[in-house]
Amino acid sequence: MTDLVAPSSVPGSFDWLVGIFKGHQKWREIDHKTQRLYEQGLALFADHELKDGTRAGSKQISQFSKGFVDAIYAKLLVVEDKDEEGNIVKRERRRFANAAMTACRRAWFVGQRAQEKLVPAINPFSRMGLKARSPNQPVRETPTATWDELVAFRAAAKKLGYSSVATAALVAWEWLQREEHVFGAFEIAHYRPKERRE
């Protein structure tokens, strides 16, 4: 139970569930970058306007079904924009929609453990079969920088007075570090030099 639930959220609603999640110890154990992504994903789902004009977040989770969640996911997957001529252009935001479903799934599991009597045991966000790319879309290789590009980047960073960024780029390159490990915890437990691969 938590006292951090927003006063406007109705007990048993999805908004309430998000409040339970964000007030739980499990939320505090998540790194800040992931918390920010979860917040964006939870808001994307909760703020989705339904056909009756209400927000998905205002609905009671006891009435959520897999079909309801799948229908909202399908709506979140595609966004409409206008091009320079004013024409409506549809584009897919699969990565963002998938991240939203992942955040909702985690919120449900944490909420179910914290409020077992109020949160249904069956999580409608589980086993959705989320795909990383659209059907028939070719696999896109992750672009990698060359050594010369790294050298040029480091020179430009130093020239602009960002020596620590230049150093971080070199550390990330040489030790295959993620940015959160370089700037946050600086973890190198996985690193093994060539002479000690085991």
Q: Which tokens go with 175?
A: 């030790």
User: Which of 26-30, 101-105, 138-142 is the least confident region?
Assistant: 138-142
For 25, the 3-state DSSP assignment is helix
For 53-65, what is each residue's pLDDT tens digit? 999 999 999 999 9
Determine the Cα–Cα distance for residues 47 and 56; give it in Å rounded to an integer.
Answer: 6
pTM for the structure as a whole: 0.65
- Residue 50 and residue 56 in contact, taking contact as beta carbons nearer than 8 Å: yes
Query: How many CB atoms are located within 10 Å of the residue 13 CB?
Result: 20
Instruction: Write down the pLDDT at residue 179.
Output: 57
Q: Which residues contact 93 (CB under 8 A, 6 or more apart)?
A: 76, 77, 78, 79
Q: Which amino acid is at 139?
A: V
For 139-164, what is each residue's pLDDT tens digit? 666 677 788 898 999 999 999 999 98
pLDDT of residue 25 exceeding 70: yes
Closest CA to 136 of 101, 99, 92: 92
Binned at pLDDT 50, 70 and 90, residue 9 comes out as: confident
Q: Which tokens go with 26?
A: 């499990």
Instruction: Write down the pLDDT at residue 144.
Output: 76
For 58, the 3-state DSSP assignment is helix
Higher local confidence (pLDDT), 135 or 51: 51
Binned at pLDDT 50, 70 and 90, residue 2 comes out as: very low
